[in-house]
Structure 1
């Protein structure tokens, strides 16, 4: 009996479980290790913040999906990985041995890069903590308490959060609440077409969202943030949507990693140092480098599933080359969205409807009936 451990309930592993549900493996035990029994789809979270979705509509139950695939769900976080001993250690002290390991645990937020952030700010990752912090903003707003919010990071995640917060606070009746964004680039959405950046900046100005471009946050305090120009921004709630960071247990595992600590994989998504280990999503450093984005985690799902099956069967693996350009759809919190692919950009209500259809279809695809097996 071989044992396959799926470490993390990320986007790529959803496709693995879906494939295994169709193609049960004889003489293979499958264990899914995840700190949560549901994956909250990050693409729909801004819509939840803005009030377009219930949180349940953004969630994919992992227990049911694992049950259909014949996998056992261990609801625990990984605290240690020993690639030489082929073991995963979980937060409750369990040591799980494996014959094959697939890692799709996402990335962390680089919270320790800013003094005070670990104490006074909430990172976007992990999502459970972020969701709780957003709910506290709404509770403060509804109770008439101070609810000013500062988002650190001017990329797609930070801009979406700011738009969504402003929209929801307006619905609650707190148009007096301050929503601000700090980004190191001159304009929001750095890396997307300039016309989309300009449109985002104009929308932020029209909705009263403060943009502090070309600035860095030097420290976060109980009262807000200090910037590199010596100024300060007051805020009761500070959210970090800054760069991703690798999980420290990957760097300490013995796996080959890149300079930032992400697991290096070849074109088959197999570790370049340990052939029993595969990785995909934000925790992986692909042979063909790509940005940390859910788009590439989703695209890696089917080839990861195929190569796990082939590895377990002793068959040759197939190479995968991620697409060069990705589609980016950024919601603006009021039934409209911005879109970009390559150098082309667009916006409008129709872009939101397009995004909404894509997101709903993705979540519904992986909803599974049944409770699965949880221990």
Structure 2
């Protein structure tokens, strides 16, 4: 259970921010999930929801693993362990204000912060490297590029010349994996594939023993990989590589696996770094000049240098977790002593591997099976078991909060100081007036359209909640054909120490304001209070000429019904609370919820829209029935045509349904034929957050309207139903 929700007895007193989802931080997340520290909120900041396990990357490249086999789903891991996940890109740290600066969203305050963002090849050291080729890190970008290459070659085999720069373990494993994959593609011709491996050192794998080096020399030769040792790459261009002696290596694809480089923002933020930009830490993994900051893994520069290897990050995880706990409690920190050597298990392209440590050498398929067992055991540790679905008829735990006092005026004043609203005509007194109520002057001849909505947090990011909730609340105005004008907000903030409450309110309001500004809506004021859990809503105002209003009662024979967005948010969000979804499913659901109805309404108007509603709590079937009853007509509904979000079918099949889902079964009575199968009906009843518009247009305009919607950024828009006067009023026939 996240700290944003009811049931948190201990108020939040400390904020721990984990920057990056590296091998050490996943151990920290799990540690605080198993041994929570009362009053501590753990928040993970990550650009990506899926964090890769680098030890399995060569196997993924070679085709032995699928994506999910070797990626940790941070959203599920955080949800299962009571941590919050915020997806974003860190651009710096304000040490004086104790804030982490993020790209395209407000900064986040911290009491303690830890950095585990790894490293990436130092491409800036070679002219042209950044523009030509692809680095093995960030892994997600490399994989996207690699899959594009293999997909193209599988579809149309052709010559492919690969050049890999880097003679360490990573470069060699990637080279062998690439060659194995390309030569096992359907229709592959080994003669069309070539690979050059370039190494500045006099020999490969200098840190390994002679038997290991000799083995890989033979293995590379057998794979047809030409090795160039003692050759420094001085430039890359669109033809390939330029070496220090002037020689060239032609390449269609350049892969960079060179020495590690650091992100620039730690040094730019005034954090003490070594000459290469890695954060200098002491023996307890704490920054040497910022006592509230810790760093681990490749990004950390330890007092005694160690190799940039994931092995160290994995083993440092529990030391880091313990020291973060001790730092919060004000206890002495423990010393981290990295091992002086470790066992390396190196893959060779096929399901075959080499074991190397000191003078030890072993090779064979059994080594690969051993490595595979170790890797899968590591991944299983961070793949949480989902909570069971709530049995039908039972109330979900901690469903609602209670009443509370208002948020303090000083805190509110500081938050409002950052609120910059649009100036609109017709606002006599608004947020800037500090009056007890807002005063509006409606435009001549237009009608005032009002709506209100308010709900508990459904995601652990107040900023994102504010953005989505604001769009959800505005949906009723767009569905009525009104132009949104202004809004009043109401926010409930979980009780915590003042600094934590202020941050939650600030993030929430900035998210709502981002949406309101995009929609050209002015925030007039609002109300805030303390409560058991985070909740937010808006009372929204809009205007429309009487003839522009879109009513549910205007359906007629010959109308086709278009849905502008995919459905499935109800079951996905319910499953997410139980850590039973995949991170990518929630990413796609969030993107769907953030899609504004404004442009969709403009397109619908251009195609003769006659009636409209937005699909929210009552699901597709409930909102369709409202329109049919009001219009005294029936309709054919095509369930197979309804766009569905990825993962929604799976979540429903596993039994995850929102709390309103069961109540929506009343709408099954509108069907002309009773259908008991949940497979055919559950999605029709799924409540939506910030759902799409359900709009009626003349049937002859429907196809053109859908094409226009899809071209304007509504890829899931579809014709799902048609009005039919032969069907009884308010009834739905499935077809």
Q: Do they superpose with TM above 0.5? A: yes
SS at match of 1:357: helix
Counterparts of 2:43 and 2:33, CA distance in 1:
13
- Mapped pair 1:163 → 2:176: yes
- Mapped pair 1:84 → 2:96: yes
1:279 pairs, out of 285, 295, 300, with 295
Deviation at 1:369, TM superposition (A): 4.2
- Mapped pair 1:102 → 2:114: yes
Deviation at 1:370, TM superposition (A): 5.0
Counterparts of 1:314 and 1:67, CA distance in 2:
27
Deviation at 1:346, TM superposition (A): 2.2
- Mapped pair 1:151 → 2:167: no
Deviation at 1:209, TM superposition (A): 0.9
Deviation at 1:84, TM superposition (A): 3.0
Determine the structure 2 residue equivalent to 1:255. 271
SS at match of 1:25: coil
Deviation by residue 1:289-339 (Cα, 9 ceiling, x = unmatched)? 211100100111000000111111111111111100021111001111122
Deviation at 1:368, TM superposition (A): 2.1
2:342 pairs, out of 323, 326, 351, with 326
- Mapped pair 1:128 → 2:143: no
Counterparts of 2:305 and 2:233, CA distance in 1:
28
* Larger RCO (CA within 8 A; separation ≥ 6): 1
Deviation at 1:258, TM superposition (A): 1.5
After TM superposition, the structure 1 = structure 2 runs for residues 325-344 of structure 1, keeping only pairs within 5 Å, are 325-344=341-360
TM-score, scaled relative to structure 2:
0.50
Deviation at 1:183, TM superposition (A): 0.6
Kept in 2, the 8 Å contact 1:65–1:369? The answer is no
Kept in 2, the 8 Å contact 1:187–1:201? The answer is no
SS at match of 1:214: coil
Deviation at 1:17, TM superposition (A): 0.5
Determine the structure 2 residue equivalent to 1:366. 382
Kept in 2, the 8 Å contact 1:11–1:294? The answer is yes
Determine the structure 1 residue equivalent to 2:317. 301
Deviation by residue 1:80-135 (Cα, 9 ceiling, x = unmatched)? 12223321111223211110001101112201111111111211111111111111
Kept in 1, the 8 Å contact 2:100–2:107? The answer is yes
SS at match of 1:66: helix
Determine the structure 1 residue equivalent to 2:371. 355
- Mapped pair 1:56 → 2:71: no
Counterparts of 1:145 and 1:26, CA distance in 2:
60
Kept in 2, the 8 Å contact 1:153–1:181? The answer is yes
1:12 pairs, out of 6, 24, 34, with 24
Kept in 2, the 8 Å contact 1:158–1:241? The answer is yes
Kept in 2, the 8 Å contact 1:141–1:174? The answer is no
Query: Compared with structure 1, are the counterparts of its residues 223 and 140 closer, same or farther at alpha carbon in structure 2 (3 Å cutoff)?
Result: farther
SS at match of 2:85: strand
Determine the structure 2 residue equivalent to 1:28. 40
Deviation by residue 1:156-176 (Cα, 9 ceiling, x = unmatched)? 111000000111111111312
Determine the structure 2 residue equivalent to 1:68. 80
After TM superposition, the structure 1 = structure 2 runs for residues 258-269 of structure 1, keeping only pairs within 5 Å, are 258-269=274-285
Counterparts of 2:149 and 2:203, CA distance in 1:
26
- Larger radius of gyration, structure 1 or 2? 2
Counterparts of 1:138 and 1:148, CA distance in 2:
13
1:314 pairs, out of 330, 336, 339, with 330
Counterparts of 2:223 and 2:49, CA distance in 1:
37
Counterparts of 1:307 and 1:252, CA distance in 2:
26
Query: Compared with structure 1, are the counterparts of its residues 145 and 373 closer, same or farther at alpha carbon in structure 2 (3 Å cutoff)?
Result: farther
Deviation by residue 1:15-56 (Cα, 9 ceiling, x = unmatched)? 101101101121112110000011111111110111111111
Kept in 1, the 8 Å contact 2:19–2:115? The answer is yes
Kept in 2, the 8 Å contact 1:137–1:147? The answer is no
2:234 pairs, out of 218, 235, 238, with 218
SS at match of 1:118: coil
Kept in 1, the 8 Å contact 2:33–2:83? The answer is no
TM-score, scaled relative to structure 1:
0.97
Counterparts of 1:345 and 1:218, CA distance in 2:
34
Determine the structure 2 residue equivalent to 1:41. 53
- Aligned Cα RMSD in Å? 1.5
